[in-house]
């Protein structure tokens, strides 16, 4: 898949020399080239290293993202319990527009409106584009494809939003009609007037009870 990157990334450059520091030749005079350890001290060091490695391994395992289907399953349970629609967000840590969407949803007035009508669920996808494939929720790409987030050419625009009913059936997604590619049609976080109108319209389609005033207040909070 080809993920659209909305934020410029700069590659880190390596430095071959350190200015203003002690020359390497002088460092050899300051520190011994060998260290002498007793057998007991070596054993303690090895034990400490082994324990540290076990702790790191356990922490990594504990932080492993849940499967995308499990995230959706939890959202379905909550949506059924609360009688709300599901607002499923596909995003990535490198996606600037995804962070803008997070900020928008976190605004107190917006949060109050969205929490009234939606169960918000988030799935990480495309993290491999920035070198972190293990940050993806397993199965997220397949789930996104199921809801229409991937074009026939394999292009993806993030954030991608799928609005679902309580059984996780697609009501509408953030791809604006009239565009040929899903990656170009996404309005997960709108900026242009026609995108804003489409964004507000899909909210009303998924949550018909939402009022014009609530839509207006949401758009005002986002600075639309």
> Could you give the strand order of the β-sheet that contains 118-124, starting from the edge strand earlier in sequence?
118-124, 85-91, 160-164, 170-173
Same domain, 40 and 127: no
> Picking from 25-39, 110-124, 170-184, which range would have the lowest pLDDT averaged per residue?
25-39
Task: Please report whether residue 19 resides in a domain.
Answer: no
Per DSSP, the residues of 97-143 read: HHHHHHHHHHSHHHHHHHHHHEEEEEEE--GGGGT-GGGSPTTHHHH
Taking only the tens place, the pLDDT of each residue in 27-37 is 334 333 343 44
Overall average pLDDT of the 121-141 stretch: 96
**Domain around 46:** 33-62
Number of structural domains (the chain) is 2
More confident residue, 179 or 151: 151
- Percent of the chain scoring above 70 in pLDDT: 67
Taking only the tens place, the pLDDT of each residue in 83-103 is 999 999 999 999 999 999 999
Mean pLDDT of the chain, nearest integer: 79
> Can you give the CATH number for the domain in which 102 is found?
3.40.30.10
Same domain, 202 and 181: yes
């Amino acid at each position: 898949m080809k993920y659209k990157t909305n934020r410029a990334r700069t590659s880190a450059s390596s430095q071959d020399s350190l200015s203003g520091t002690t020359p390497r030749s002088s460092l050899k005079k300051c520190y011994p080239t060998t260290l002498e350890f007793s057998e007991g001290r070596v054993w303690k060091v090895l034990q400490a290293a082994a324990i540290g490695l076990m702790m790191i391994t356990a922490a990594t395992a504990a932080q492993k993202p849940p499967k995308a289907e499990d995230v959706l399953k939890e959202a379905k349970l909550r949506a059924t319990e609360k009688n709300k629609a599901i607002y499923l967000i596909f995003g990535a840590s490198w996606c600037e527009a995804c962070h803008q969407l997070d900020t928008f949803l976190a605004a107190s007035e917006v949060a109050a409106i969205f929490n009234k009508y939606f169960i918000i669920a988030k799935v990480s996808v495309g993290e491999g584009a920035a070198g972190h494939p293990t940050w993806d929720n397993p199965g997220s790409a397949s789930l996104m494809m199921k809801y229409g987030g991937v074009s026939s050419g394999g292009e993806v625009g993030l954030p991608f939003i799928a609005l679902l009913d309580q059984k996780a059936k697609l009501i509408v997604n953030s791809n604006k009609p009239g565009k040929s590619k899903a990656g170009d049609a996404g309005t997960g976080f709108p900026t242009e007037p026609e995108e804003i109108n489409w964004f507000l319209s899909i909210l009303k389609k998924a949550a018909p009870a939402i009022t014009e005033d609530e839509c207006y207040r949401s758009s005002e909070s986002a600075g639309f």
